Structure 1
Amino acid sequence: MNLTFLTQLIYLTCGVVLFLLGFLIFRENTAQRLNRITGLMLFLAGLGPILGAFGLLLQQAAGSPAQIDFTFLDRLYHVWELFFPQLVLFSLVFPVEHPVLAARPRLPVLLFTPQVLHLLMSLVLPDAGSVQSLRQSLGLAQNWPVLLQPVKILLRGLAAVLEFAVTYQETFFAAINIAYVVAAVVFMQRSYFRLKNPRVRGQTRWVMWGILTSLALYALAFLIPKIFAFEVERNLAQVLTIASLLIGSGAIAWAIIRYQFLDVRFIIRRSFIYSITSGLLVGVYLLIYTKAKNVVEAVMGVNLPLLEVIFLVIAVIAFQPLLSLMEGVIERWFFKGSTDYREFLQTLSRDLLSVMNLGQLQEKITGSLRQALGLENVYLFLEDEDETAFTSIITTNGRPEETRSDVISTEVRFRRDGQFVPLLSRIESPVYSEDVQPQLTQAQEREALLRMRPKLLLPLSQHGRLVGILSVGQKLSRQPFSYEDMTLLTLLSNQATIAIENTKLYQSKLEKQRIDEELNVAREIQRMLLPRHIPAAPQCEISAINLPSLEVGGDLYDFVELPGGDFGIAIGDVAGKGVPGAILMSSLLAVFRAVAARNIKPSAVVQELNAQIARTTNPEKYATFCYAVLSPEKQQLTYTNAGHNYPILLRSNGALIELTESNLIVGVCEDMVYGEHAVAVNAGDTIVFYTDGVTEAQDENRREFDTQRLFEVIARYRHLSAEGLRNRIYEAVLQFIGDMPQSDDLTLVVVRLK
């Protein structure tokens, strides 16, 4: 096999491959401008090597180039030169269409003008001899009448210009072709640097550098020698041309196989590739077997049947593992990646399992889908926390996401009580936006839909309830969505729906855990702050109970032993539940204990307590508080009530008195002046302090326990000790609410004078 035959084979193969690629791309979507331009570019690119192969074949058949008339082939070569303006046109529409095409619709005509002129010149005046013939036919060498001398001079000048143009046409048009190549590379490179989608970047990178390298080699072999008037050795020119063809056609084929260039799919199917792999393995096996058999026969002079058995055993043992290994390599190189939709769905499913945040889930789904299908934009609308609207952040500068650096974002909301959300709730499959938009009469929703620039809308529903909306923009390649694309989107919408629901459940679980942990902390704070032991008081019985609710309120109580046998009792209820309420309670108790230890009047204690709380917290942090000082020696109860539930005084004779004197709650007004009140108490009297968790406890009919029932319980069990009365009140409340949960802390302090 000599170089000429190899060159013919490669020329012909590359030409046919380029023809087939052009046909496949053109057939994929004939209505698409990019497909038409790319298909024609590849047709013209394939014409060159086919003409080259045909020329070499004619030369080989004739035996000498001098015996062949290449005029027809030369003229066809000038047709092939139309590839260069077609390349520039391709660079203006790929990967994204350049605005200059819309601004100057006649630009394609101007691009082709030089090559068309060159083609016409090659047909009319192929060489300088044709210009001489034209001169002779016009009789420019003969004498003309005096009156026609100006015409003769003009014609001779035109003939000189034509002779110059014909003589240097190859150099001139070679320079134009190189300029076209440079312009095409510049246009594609500028578009490439603005791209963000990895798949489109991969397509553009392979196509751009493949074409650039291919044309650079071709320019070294033919164009540059024409410009600078030197010749390249024939074999070197053929090698450069072969490399140019292999790189150019190979880059485009690889972009199609690996990155689905222009969405041309299944051009090389797995079965076809695997069949070739199996055939190659069988061929290698037969070649090795034949060579080994020939060597053995040549060395030993006999035919060894044992050799066939050995090779058969080797084939049985090694063939399948080798085939599996090669198929694995092919799978990784040719079919694995984001463009393999089965692999994409599997990978996305695994990734979604680890995403437990709705924001991250939104980014993962939209980003993965945008890369897999090469889309301009993808938006996932999710429900707001109040479940009244669906919201997403969209870009609004009107340019494809993949080619901009100045992203302008805005929030778009579609309310459940609007038209858009109910309309999609009734749809179970992907729908084109142009079918939805005419049904919207609300201007705000129509405008929002236009800003989104969707091509498809996918409702994400779970058990008949809409949980999300997927807005899918058009493809960067401007190709229509295929059946495979629609299948992928349908499967993806199902996965996304499940992922959204799972994420919501997980976040609800996390929120519940957070609340539980917060409540546990609040309970622990409350437990540590409340008195662990009730101080011993010789002249009275004291019993107290605090039962935190599930939400843990801010109930508190405390006791202070004062000089002279006096005894301080404090009870309160801070605003807020959980940790915030517990923190306020701890602050209030700390201030109270510091102030009450100075043995000052109840009004002074509450007044200073109010000032401290008002200065250190905001107005939303307040508390009800009651502080009473019991003096058995004086037989007097002095108290200051700051908006707390009225204490109840049970006389030894059974009379019930509600101590209704009260003031403003603490923590609201720093300068508030609090008054105090005194009431006489005797042996056998009982004072009941309580929080609203007692009187506001509700049964299943939402009726409250109220103060009247509390009076009845106290009156019924007035003969009991302080602890006994406390227990009966608590039991009465529990019996009243039944199976209803305890909605607030329940705190009781019962003091009985001996």
Structure 2
Amino acid sequence: MESGTREPEGLHAAEMERYRERIDNLRECFRTSALINSTLELDEVLENIMTTSRSILKADACSLMLVDEATDELVFAVAQGPVAGKLKAGFRLRKGDGIAGHVFQTGKPLLIEDVYRDARFHQEFDRKTGYRTHSMLCVPLKIKDRVIGVSQVINRLDGTSFVAEDEETLGLLCDHAAIAIENARMHRDLLRKQQMESDLAFATSIQLSFLPQSIPEMPGYTFHAHYRPALAIGGDFYDFIPLGGDRLGILIGDVSGKGVASALCMAKLMSDFRLLAVREKEPAILMRQMNRLLFEQSRRGMFVTLLYMVLDSSDSRIDYVNAGHIPPVLWNEAGGEFVPVRGVGGPPLGILDDCAYVSRSLRLKRGDRLLLFTDGLVDAKSACGERFGWERVQAAVCPARGGIAEVHRRLMDALNEFVGQCPPADDTTMVLIGVGKP
């Protein structure tokens, strides 16, 4: 080869050195991917990402921002370098704002030799921290085509600018990092879900402990109860309260909303009601006391519909007061029909600070059946969104042949067939009272 075409030895050596450095960096990327994935704790994963990125790229500083999917903003997560401690935790960037925001918006990396010549760079960061940013490499973290974060490395330690090979190296690291972050998040979410399920199971067991553990026995009467929450914890409730002698208190109610808050309100209300019911014989006065108590103690916007009955078996008399609840229905053996027991005694509990309630009375006859229920029964919906409705309730239990257990079975068969596999949108609770038939 003639001397005019021979490559300069110094240039060849420099290229070989860059190739060797590139190969070493790639080896280091694959080696450190094990470090990045060595833990499922998100904070440790983020620190490992920064440590490896800074080390391989020989950068003076680095930072990582993650996408808040709720606001579609970048949120500062972790940083390393001389002024890392001065970075404000939780600092946010809108999409398109600054260099990192631009990378978030476009999903493409940026390699900038001199950030002060780039209008997207926020120079006030350097002014506030005393740091001097020269070159920057900014790369998106992606899962498929979805950007989940942005990684930045700043200022090479040797004073030179980052080059295209550095961009490729950081891109490879970010690919590993994105998977590690997603795995850590899935692990965190799984642990949270397991903890929540454990808490809900415990809360459910506490809630169920407030419901009657057995059905009362009273000569000449039979009772049946059904409770099915829409969620693990519901807001419906019922209770049987022995009042001494021939008297039995029966209540059914529905706390607004669902979940833990409703269940806690229900448990507190049932406890207070049992305590007051044995002291106050008049249902209307008792309801007024409960309303005042609930109004003072419950959070704003929470209320309770409640139906309370006092059955005196000595004369088959029921005194009842209805605080905004669905009226019960009475099957009259003689007339062969279901009749709603009308008469609202007052508004739901917890809406007004003080309210007078009105009680009413009825007498049961042999063969009568009384059905108390919550709106989850009539409002249950089929797959096409149709309501179960009162007409289907009536068709299922009329004629009311057999005892109340048979009435309950027919009603639940009809309800389950109607809703099919649709999960219940609301709690379903029923109490049935039969006179003279088992």
What is the TM-score when the length of structure 1 is the normalising length? 0.49
Bigger fraction of residues in helix: 1
Q: In the alignment, which residue of structure 2 is the partner of 1:430?
A: 109
Counterpart of 1:465 in structure 2: which amino acid?
Answer: R
Cα displacement (A) at 1:542: 0.8
Map residues 562-573 of structure 1 onto 2, 5 A cutoff: 562-573=243-254
Q: 1:749 is matched with which residue: 427, 431, 435?
A: 431
Counting only pairs closer than 5 Å after superposition, residues 334-733 of structure 1 correspond to structure 2 as 342-343=27-28, 346-347=31-32, 349-357=34-42, 359-384=43-68, 386=70, 388-392=72-76, 401-402=81-82, 411-415=91-95, 424=104, 427=107, 430-432=109-111, 446=120, 455-652=136-333, 653=335, 654-714=337-397, 716-733=398-415
Matches within 5 A, 1:142-221: none
Cα drift, residue 413 of structure 1: 2.8
**Which deviations, in whole Å up to 9, do the C-alpha atoms of 1:292-349 show, x marking residues without a partner?**
xxxxxxxxxxxxxxxxxxxxxxxxxxxxxxxxxxxxxxxxxxxxxxx97644653453
What is the alpha-carbon root mean square deviation over aligned residues? 4.0
* Post-superposition CA distance 1:708-749 (Å, at most 9, x none): 3223323x2422321111122222221111011233332110
Letter in 1 for 2:31: Q
Separation in 2, partners of 1:609, 1:431:
66
CA distance in 1, matches of 2:115, 2:423: 49
The residue type paired with residue 327 of structure 2 is: Y
Matched letter for residue 535 of structure 1 = P
Q: Does the C-alpha gap of structure 1 residues 642 and 679 become closer, same or farther in structure 2, counting only changes over 3 Å?
A: same
Report how far residue 621 of structure 1 moved.
4.5
Distance 1:404 1:426 in 2: 26
Q: Which has the higher contact order (CA 8 A, sep 6+)?
A: 2
Letter in 1 for 2:75: T
Structure 1 residues 500, 438: CA separation in 2 closer, same or farther (over 3 Å shift)? farther
Contact 1:522 1:578 in 2 (8 A): no
Bigger Rg, structure 1 or 2: 1
CA deviation string 1:70-101 (max 9, x = no partner): xxxxxxxxxxxxxxxxxxxxxxxxxxxxxxxx
TM-score, normalisation: structure 2: 0.80
d(CA) in 1 for partners of 2:174, 2:355: 62
CA contact (8 A) 2:230 2:425 kept: yes
What letter is aligned with 2:387? Answer: E
Q: What code does the residue aligned with 2:41 have?
A: M
Question: Which amino acid in the other structure matches residue 388 of structure 1?
Answer: D
Identity %: 27
**Preserved contact between residue 547 and residue 747 of structure 1 (Cα < 8 Å):** yes
Letter paired with 1:349: A
Q: Following the alignment from structure 2 to structure 1, what is the Cα–Cα distance between the partners of residues 116 and 390?
A: 62
Which residue type is aligned with residue 413 of structure 1? L
User: Aligned letter for 1:412?
Assistant: R
CA distance in 1, matches of 2:253, 2:239: 9
For structure 2, the 5+ residue unaligned runs are: 1-9, 127-132
C-alpha contact (below 8 Å) 1:649/1:686 kept by paired residues:
yes
Per the alignment, do residues 521 and 422 of structure 1 end up closer, same or farther by CA in structure 2, a change over 3 Å counting? farther
| SS of match in other structure, 1:402 | coil
**Cα distance in structure 2, aligned partners of 1:416 and 1:504:** 25
Partners of 1:374 and 1:730 lie apart in 2 by: 70
- Distance in 2 (alpha carbons) for counterparts of 1:423 and 1:708: 61
Once the two structures are superposed, the pairs formed by residues 318-333 of structure 1 within 5 Å of their partners are none
Distance change (3 Å), C-alpha of 1:408 and 1:512: closer
CA distance in 1: counterparts of 2:81 and 2:247, whole angstroms: 78
**Distance of 2:114 and 2:330 partners within structure 1:** 76
| 1:420-464 Cα distance to aligned partner (Å, 9 max, x none) | 87975654x533369999999xxxxx5769859782331222222
The 2-side partners of 1:640 and 1:404 are apart by: 67
Deviation at 1:418, TM superposition (A): 12
Deviation at 1:266, TM superposition (A): 5.6
Tell me, in whole angstroms, the C-alpha distance in 2 between the residues paired with 1:669 and 1:410. Answer: 43
* Separation in 2, partners of 1:629, 1:640: 9
In structure 2, relative to structure 1, the CA distance for the partners of 1:568 and 1:351 (3 Å cut) is: same
Equivalent residues, number? 414
Q: Report how far residue 701 of structure 1 moved.
A: 1.7
Please list the CA deviations of residues 653-679 of structure 1 after superposition, one character each: whole Å capped at 9, or x if unmatched. 214225351533323444333332333
**What SS does the corresponding residue of 1:571 show, helix, strand or coil?**
strand
The 1:490–1:405 alpha-carbon spacing in structure 2 relative to 1, beyond 3 Å, is closer
Query: Structure 1, residues 41-92: CA drift from partner, whole Å, max 9, x if none?
Result: xxxxxxxxxxxxxxxxxxxxxxxxxxxxxxxxxxxxxxxxxxxxxxxxxxxx
1:388–1:416 Cα contact (<8 Å) kept: no
How far residue 360 of structure 1 moved from its aligned partner, in angstroms, is 4.6
User: How big is the shift at 1:385?
Assistant: 5.2
Preserved contact between residue 554 and residue 582 of structure 1 (Cα < 8 Å): yes
Q: Which amino acid aligns with 2:213?
A: R
Deviation readout 1:131-153 (Å, 9 max, x if unpaired) = xxxxxxxxxxxxxxxxxxxxxxx
CA contact (8 A) 1:412 1:448 kept: no
SS in 2 for 1:353: coil
Residues 198-230 of structure 1 show CA distances to partners (whole Å, capped at 9, x for unaligned) of: xxxxxxxxxxxxxxxxxxxxxxxxxxxxxxxxx
The correspondence of residues 134-145 of structure 1 with structure 2, limited to 5 A, is none
- SS of residue matched to 1:495: helix
CA distance in 1, matches of 2:421, 2:115: 51
Counterpart contact for 1:425–1:465, Cα < 8 Å:
no
Secondary structure of the structure 2 residue equivalent to 1:644: coil
Verify the 8 A CA contact 1:656 1:711 in the aligned structure 2. Answer: no
Tell me: CA distance 1:389–1:696, structure 2 relative to 1, closer, same or farther (3 Å). Answer: farther
Cα distance, 1:394–1:515 mapped onto 2, change above 3 Å:
closer
Q: Which runs of no fewer than 5 residues in structure 1 stay unpaired?
A: 1-23, 29-263, 271-338, 441-445
Equivalents in 1 of 2:117, 2:388: separation in Å? 59
1:354 match: secondary structure: coil
Contact kept in structure 1, 2:115 and 2:136, CA below 8 Å: no
Question: How big is each residue's C-alpha offset from its partner over 1:141-181, in whole Å with a ceiling of 9 and x where there is no partner?
Answer: xxxxxxxxxxxxxxxxxxxxxxxxxxxxxxxxxxxxxxxxx
Q: What SS does the aligned partner of 2:82 have?
A: helix
Q: Distance in 2 between matches of 1:696 and 1:549?
A: 12
SS at 2:251's partner residue? strand
Q: 2: distance between equivalents of 1:681 and 1:373? A: 87
Distance 1:418 1:490, change over 3 A: closer
Give the structure with the higher percent strand.
Answer: 2
The 3-state SS of whatever aligns with 1:627 is: strand
1:702 partner letter:
G
